[in-house]
Amino acid sequence: MVAQTVVILSLDGLVYFWLIDGEDSRGKRVHRQETPNWAESDVCQLCNAAFFWNIKKMWSDMSVGVRQHHCRRCGKAVCEKCSLNRSIYPIMGFEREVRMCTECFKAISGEDLTSLAHYFDARHPIVRQHLLGDQNIMLTIGRNKEVKVGTVSLIVLI
C-alpha cells in the first residue's frame, strides 16, 4: 500500500511532509481524523459564561461577557478560562500547538502526540513550488527569487 503524504511549503521557510493515510515510522496504521465543525453558542459550553454579544445573560448574571474561542479537537465554543491549554494534535493535522478545552486536553494521551510530519528548513521563504513527480524533483522559489532544486523519493501523484 502506498502512503498518502501531503507536502506543505511555508513562508517561514519550512517544507513539511505530512502523512495522511498509511503506516507511520513505527509501522502503525494512520488515518487522518477530520477536524470538527465549530459549534455556535451564546455561552461557553463548559462553564456557561456568557459571550460578549449575549447581553441578556450578561445582565441577568451581572457579569461582563467574554470572548468566544473554539477547541480544535472537539469544536466546542469555550471561553478563555476553559481553553487555557495548548497542545499539538497530529492526527488532525495540528503539528504546532493549538487551543484545546480542558476536557480534551485531559483526554489526549502520549500516543496522540506522536508527530505525523517531517519538516525540513528550506532556508528561504517559499512563495512557489513545482513538483516533477515523474523525475522525483521538487523546485522551490523563494521571496528573494532564490531557486532551489531537490530530489524526493517515491512520489505518487493522485
Answer yes or no: are the C-beta atoms of 14 and 122 closer than 8 Å: yes
Question: Residue 14: helix, strand or coil by DSSP?
Answer: strand
- Using CA atoms, how far apart are residues 106 and 101, in angstroms rounded to an integer? 9
Q: Judging by beta carbons within 10 Å of its beta carbon (0-12, 13-18, 19+), is residue 140 exposed, middle or buried?
A: buried
> Residue ranges of the domains in the chain?
34-115
The C-alpha angle 77, 78, 82, rounded to 5 degrees, equals 160
**Topology of the domain covering 34-115:** Herpes Virus-1 (3.30.40)
pLDDT given for residue 88 in this prediction = 94
pTM for this entry: 0.68
Answer yes or no: are the C-beta atoms of 141 and 128 closer than 8 Å: yes
* Cα 100 to chain centroid, rounded: 12
pLDDT tens sequence across 19-73: 777 666 666 777 788 899 999 999 999 998 888 787 888 888 888 778 899 999 9
pLDDT given for residue 58 in this prediction = 81
Between 20 and 157, name the one with better pLDDT: 20
Confidence of residue 158 (pLDDT cuts 50, 70, 90): very low
